[in-house]
Amino acid sequence: MRYMRIHKCILLLLVAIISSPLSAQGEGQVYQEELNRLNREIKLSQDSITYLLEEKPEVQNKLFSFISDSDQSLQATEANRASLKRSQNILLGLVIICVIILLTFFFMKSGEVKQIKTHKRQEDKLKSMLSRLIPESQVDHLLHNEKVDPVMWKECAIMFIELDELAPYNSPQHRLEVIDHLFQVAENLFKEYDLQKIKTSGQQILAVCKKGRLTPVQQVEATVQCAVKLRESLRYVKDPQMSIRVGISYGDVISGLIGTEKVRFDIWGEDVNIAYRNVQYAAAGKINMSKYVMRSLNKSKYTVEELGAVEIKEGQKLDMFAV
């Protein structure tokens, strides 16, 4: 019945809308008759609808069912819209959270990369410093294991270089400049001839030429040629007041680190002692060598001087040769 009242109100409103301008215009009887006719038609339509609803309740039920379904559909649509909006809000929240997580991860990763680069620079700097004290081949082993186990190096050319002062220097600065220059030249020659500096001590340098891909003859040739080039470099030093003596031998050595607070890398072996004896007995500007080194040397390049058997200890003699 509520819907019937609504219907009636709509019809009356329609009549009021139509009748208002007609009465306002005051067009007379024609308009009044037309209005009456319209009222009768509306009344008939109203009665017809009322009769139809009273005589055929199934129509009324269908109408109410349609209205109810429409109302439920509208409510469901509203509920779906609200649910969709909630889903959109949840999705937006998840996207924001993911962006925050990604940004956090990015900044953390950037920080880690920066730390890794800093650590790498520090490691490279440490390696550079250590390579000045010990052979580069031992640096990585020392950094990862904090120690260097003794290693046997077989078939090495061993060379001692000693700087000899021919006359006193006028100033310590000039003396140091000459020594530093010769040491730098020696290190550059070591790289050129594939020698490995073991240590420097005072005015002495100890280096070896390990076998690697070289033959013993090539090792000896590289070592002697390095010594000759170093001797010749003195010609280009202004007022050097210094010469070099060299001792070379060939054989096996043991390499390793000694000391705890002041660690030092060194090599040991009988052939190390022979090289040292050769440099001790070498004359200024001479390169002394053992018999094995002399035999491996290319005689067409060098003039070899036989020094004979030199007594190095009581009852112990050593054959020496010089170039």
The per-residue pLDDT for range 154-194, each reduced to its tens digit, is 999 999 999 988 878 788 888 888 888 899 999 999 999 99
Please, are residues 135 and 190 in contact by the beta-carbon 8 Å criterion? no
Please, are residues 152 and 252 in contact by the beta-carbon 8 Å criterion? yes
Evaluate whether the domain defined by 150-322 bears CATH number 3.30.565.10. no
- Checking if the pLDDT of 258 tops 60, the result is yes
**3-state DSSP call for residue 62?**
helix
Please, are residues 209 and 219 in contact by the beta-carbon 8 Å criterion? yes
- Rg of the chain in Å (alpha carbons): 54
Residue-wise pLDDT tens digits, 83-136: 888 888 888 888 898 888 888 888 887 777 777 777 777 767 766 666 666 666
Residue 250: C-alpha distances to residues 106, 143, 160, 257, 309 (Å): 58, 30, 12, 22, 18
Which residue type sits at 258?
I
DSSP structure class, residue 150: -
Please, are residues 273 and 191 in contact by the beta-carbon 8 Å criterion? no
Cα of first residue to Cα of last residue in the chain, in angstroms, is: 134
Beta pairing, strands 196-201 & 151-165? unpaired
- Checking if the pLDDT of 41 tops 80, the result is no
Residue 24: its pLDDT value, please?
A: 47
Containing H/E element for 182?
Answer: helix 172-192
Average pLDDT, the chain: 80
Task: For residue 318, report the phi and psi dihedrals to the nearest 5 degrees.
Answer: -135, 125
